[in-house]
Amino acid sequence: MTAWCVAVGVVVAAFAAMAQEAPGPEVRALFIGNSLTAANGLPGMIETLAAQAGLAGRLKCRAIAKPNFGLEDHWADGEALRVLRGEPWTHVILQQGPSSLPDSRAMLRSFTKRFADEARARGARVMLFGVWPSRDRLAFQEDVTESYRLAAKDVHGEMVPVGEAWRLAWQRDPQLPLYGPDQFHPSPLGSYVAAVMFFERLTGRAAPEDVPREVPAPPAIAKILRDATARAK
């Protein structure tokens, strides 16, 4: 009897482990943004994390990201709308510039609503990529975050506060090079922060500890960045 119970327990544990590792439904994420999204190949970096987590081919990302474009520009240009309407997406992720000023905040909120209507009509969830200001305007991070938070709230979407995670990482190590050379676009480390956050929000799983090869982060630095992503709200 005891041996039978042990055998049953082993089988149950095996099935539980298999269920925990099940890949889940396919995720197809469309990013609509500008060079802050395109820098360092962020969508590809997210797919790399997925492959490392055993989800190769289960999380697919595409970006319509054009230099200096806001959401109004994308709406007028039409390509992002065509792609949104033409393929089945589970998530649509919206991003424009920092949008800390009143006029740019209003524009972000207005065109987020337009894109969100299109996304929801096709069954996709809406997310906002909460970015950061240039280094010389770093004091305005709270205003940037508030703009994206309001835009997400307007459409019952989710805001992913990447800029806030940067700020938390700098509290641990102020020398972290999260900006690229122009002090506005992200470095590979800065994009890695975004990749971790989007991977986790899109899949519901913790990001793998292995860092993609294109990210120059030793384990101690990678841990600081992952800890910051977990604390960012």
Q: Which two tokens stand for residue 233?
A: 């709200």
pLDDT band at 5 (very low <50, low <70, confident <90, very high): very low
Q: Which of 19-23, 35-39, 114-118, 187-191 has the lowest mean pLDDT?
A: 19-23
Q: What's 201's domain CATH number? A: 3.40.50.1110
Task: Quote the CA–CA distance of 222 and 25 in Å, as a whole number.
Answer: 28
Main-chain dihedrals φ then ψ at residue 213, nearest 5 degrees: -60, -30
Residue 118 lies in a domain: yes
Residue bearing tokens 């802050």: 36
The DSSP code for 179 is B
Residue 2 lies in a domain: no
pTM here is 0.89
Residue 213 lies in a domain: yes
Residue 164 lies in a domain: yes
Q: Which of 84-98, 151-165, 213-227 has the lowest mean pLDDT?
A: 213-227
Mean pLDDT, the chain, integer:
91
Residue 4 lies in a domain: no
Residue 149 lies in a domain: yes
Strands, E, within 115-175: which ranges?
125-130, 158-161
Helices within 28-95 (DSSP H only):
35-38, 42-52, 71-77, 79-86
Structural domain containing residue 77: 25-231
Q: Is 204 a residue whose pLDDT tops 70? A: yes
Could you report how far apart the first and last alpha carbons of the chain are, in Å? 51
Overall domain count for the chain: 1
Q: Which two tokens stand for residue 17?
A: 């482990």
Residue 19 lies in a domain: no
Residue 5 lies in a domain: no
Residues 6+ apart with CB under 8 A from 14: none
Res 22: pLDDT: 54
Res 15: pLDDT: 37
Res 23: pLDDT: 57
pLDDT band at 25 (very low <50, low <70, confident <90, very high): confident
Cα dist from 92 to 104, 121, 143, 167, 231, whole Å: 20, 12, 23, 25, 24
* Percentage of residues in the chain having pLDDT higher than 90: 87
